[in-house]
Copies of this chain bind each other. A is one copy, B any other.
Amino acid sequence: MALLDENRLFSPDPVLRGLSRTLYDSVRDLPIISPHGHTDPQWFAENAAFPDPARLFVTPDHYVFRMLHSQGVPLEAMGVPRADGGETEQDPRTIWRLFASGYHLFRGTPTRLWVDHALQEVFGVTERLSPETADSIYDRIDDCLKQDAFRPRALFERFNIEAISTTESAIDDLKWHRMIRDSGWSGKVITAYRPDAVVDPEFQGFAANVEKIGEMAGEDATTWQGYLAAHRNRRAYFKEFGATSSDHGHPTARTEDLPQDVAASLFDKALRGACTEDEADAFRGHMLTEMARMSLDDGLVLQIHPGSARNHSDPIMARFGRDKGYDIPTRTDYVHALRPLLNAVGERSDLTIILFTLDETSYARELAPLAGVYPALKLGPPWWFHDSYEGMMRFREMATETAGFYNTVGFNDDTRAFCSIPARHDVARRVDCAFLANLIATGRLAEDEAFEVAHDLAYRLAKQAYRL
């Protein structure tokens, strides 16, 4: 018995299935390029065993615990840590059984596919997770985790990861990355420059963070020029640890290209905590343009991840803090929002700006037309809630006709769920091959070209776009 269908995500039509299969077989074993994600560099630095099945699959995975919670399971019961230090379930087997008893909730979701893939391919499980099988599967995983072959570096190698990027705050000391580098291990784990804490006036502790970045950079970051210099310094430092990109998660896609004196005076207000909401948004928007200008100098790829209404529930935020599954996509305008940035640097073909969206309505209407003309712009793959079979298919169907394949940048998994990485790349490769099979079968693409595109989407485009 197997949890996974060998031909999953391919159409049952024999023509389409045959084409999909042949294309997929040509890319399935390519190394994984993971240029954007949230794995923990400490794993690779220390190479300690993962503690237990629950803390590997349930507690850290917001896709998992949000679904269980939606049906009434308290976050505490899944061991999600309380911000207020309150009690939570500590027994991993109890948490695992809860997961097993709610496993039917994931029917038809990508989580089901990712978890089944990890269970079968990583841990050799062949029975469906259920209340009846919960314990035996728990035991099997737990046994594995005690073996060296299941430590982070071993899995990294087994997953055939050619390069992976984590994401660190601009004021992170990168000690884990240093430890990885100093260890002499050959795995390519790089960082990415995420400056939200020091470019968002509404970020908790903004002024202190700015002071900190100044200290780290040896600049007086409380002046506008010193602040910019500190960014440049830190970007260079991140580049020492392999960084090839910066990453920006703003509530909107707003950009600004303000005169320097206006920007400087907004920065002063921000430091004094005196910005209005609109001014904070304008400052964040202006900093995207500043970052793009720095990219022209230092070559970092600029990633923009806008449009998440974060921490939607006040009671959950108060009790558990950030990142608890309560970040909800919102309608996002790009056409007007990106104009200042694009007027400033959009025509530069030596710059790469990678756009993501949580608003699928923008694929065909805004993002593909923009990426299909501006030399600097490329489209990131489907993101968060949309990094699924249907979501990826909609992306190709809506973006390809106007942006083509070559204004997209392949796949990235964007995950902190380590064991799901091969699963996610496998899903992306299968969906792309299924999409290409349909193009061939409907006379929209020649077969020899489809093989080239399949390879590009699975490997080359990510490598090129992220300069890896």
- A residues contacting B by CB (< 8 A) are 4-5, 7-13, 15-16, 66-67, 69-72, 104-110, 112-113, 128, 309, 312-316, 325-326, 328-331, 333, 335-336, 339, 342-343, 346-347, 349, 358-361, 364-366, 368-375, 377, 385-386, 388-391, 397-398, 400-407, 439, 441-446, 449, 452-453
Contacts and interface: CB of A to CB of B under 8 A. Distances in A.
A377 B66 CA distance: 13
Contacts of A361: 331, 360-361, 365
A406 B66 contact: no
B360 A364 contact: yes
A104 B372 contact: no
A326 B276 CA distance: 33
A69 B347 CA distance: 9
A437 B346 CA distance: 44
A385 B369 CA distance: 8
Contact of A335 (B70, B330, B347, B365): B330
A314 B107 CA distance: 47
A361 B366 CA distance: 12
A438 to B, nearest CB: 8
Nearest to A448: B128
Given A107-B405, A372-B66, A375-B71, A339 B312 contact: yes
Given A9-B443, A108-B401, A108-B444, A374 B313 contact: yes
A407 B391 CA distance: 19
A108 B370 CA distance: 17
A105 B406 contact: yes
A161 B326 CA distance: 39
A467 to B, nearest CB: 15
A66 B373 contact: yes
A446 B330 contact: no
19 contacts: A8-B443, A9-B443, A11-B13, A12-B442, A66-B372, A69-B373, A70-B374, A71-B349, A104-B452, A107-B404, A128-B446, A309-B336, A313-B342, A328-B366, A329-B335, A361-B361, A388-B401, A390-B400, A390-B401
A404 B400 CA distance: 28
A70 B108 contact: no
Given A375-B71, A404-B67, A439 B365 contact: no
A329 B7 contact: no
Copies assembled: 3
B391 A401 contact: yes
A340 to B, nearest CB: 10
Contacts of A112: 444
Contact of A71 (B66, B360, B385, B406): B406
Contacts of A11: 13, 441-442
A12 B12 CA distance: 11
Contact of A373 (B13, B70, B315): B70
Given A9-B444, A369-B328, A401-B391, A385 B364 contact: yes
A69 B328 contact: no
B390 A67 contact: no
Contacts of A358: 365
Given A70-B407, A313-B342, 15 more contacts: A9-B444, A66-B373, A67-B373, A67-B404, A70-B375, A70-B403, A309-B336, A313-B346, A326-B373, A330-B335, A330-B336, A330-B366, A360-B365, A385-B402, A390-B397
A428 to B, nearest CB: 14
B108 A405 contact: yes
A313 B449 contact: no
Contacts of A404: 67, 70, 105-109
Contact of A401 (B69, B335, B389, B449): B389
A373 B75 CA distance: 11
Contact of A389 (B107, B359, B444, B453): B444
Given A12-B16, A339-B312, A331 B365 contact: yes
B386 A364 contact: yes
A400 B112 CA distance: 12
Contacts of A390: 397-398, 400-401
Q: From A69, A316, A368, A390, name the one whose CB has the most chain B CB atoms within 10 angstroms.
A: A390
Contacts of A389: 401, 442, 444
A466 to B, nearest CB: 17
A224 to B, nearest CB: 25
